[in-house]
Chain A
Amino acid sequence: DQQVKQNSPSLSVQEGRISILNCDYTNSMFDYFLWYKKYPAEGPTFLISISSIKDKNEDGRFTVFLNKSAKHLSLHIVPSQPGDSAVYFCAARVNAGGTSYGKLTFGQGTILTVHP
């Protein structure tokens, strides 16, 4: 049972344009959603998060939107830069009422390529 899904294995955009990465989830026990960025031969790096009680969180060029009714979140990168080329993982954290509080459930990742 895949509780967090990233249905697009890859995304290619032009430098300066917007990149939109999508993620769907099924478990209502998630209280926080996170995006991690991963370069080859490195571990995932935390990028941005959003609480389940919010619908938007912004940090510089990165904005995450959450649609709870649709169980969908998206990461917007504007403007996209070649250095943003990496694998982006969506992750969700089980809330404190769950037996696995703190555990992250990851999507399969989306490879973003930003062309100069």
Chain B
Amino acid sequence: DSGVTQTPKHLITATGQRVTLRCSPRSGDLSVYWYQQSLDQGLQFLIQYYNGEERAKGNILERFSAQQFPDLHSELNLSSLELGDSALYFCASSAAVGGWQYFGPGTRLTVT
């Protein structure tokens, strides 16, 4: 158990809908990262937050957004969902920017 929690574990929704994925980092970790893993792909970095502020952006679509709250949990919002958004979404946390990242169990999103 990495100490990073993600909810929900599974999510099935229809095209055009909007969903929110939630991540609670390890106790004391200030930095949160979001990654997407599509079928047969490695993990693709989406976005990073540190203590509530956005630090870096990767290949994140404009339909996706994220935020980190004062209690340090983070949410990833995916809107106008398309079939191609079906993937595993992982959250990771580290104590500081650049620290080793510990991953949550992921949320499997299926868009039908």
Contacts and interface: CB of A to CB of B under 8 A. Distances in A.
Interface of A: 4, 6, 34, 36, 41-46, 49, 89, 91, 93, 96, 99-109
Contact of A104 (B2, B40, B55, B101): B101
Interface of B: 2, 4, 31, 33, 35, 40-45, 48, 55-56, 58, 90, 92, 94, 97-106
Name which of A6, A34, A41, A107 has the most chain B CB atoms within 10 A of its CB: A41
A43 B90 contact: yes
B4 A43 contact: yes
B42 A103 contact: no
B55 A102 contact: yes
A49 B42 contact: no
B98 A102 contact: yes
B2 A41 contact: no
B43 A89 contact: yes
Contacts of A45: 2, 103
Contacts of A34: 100
Given A100-B56, A101-B97, A41 B105 contact: yes
B59 to A, nearest CB: 11
B52 to A, nearest CB: 16
B98 A46 contact: no
Contacts of B102: 46
Nearest to B94: A102
B90 A44 contact: yes
B45 A43 contact: no
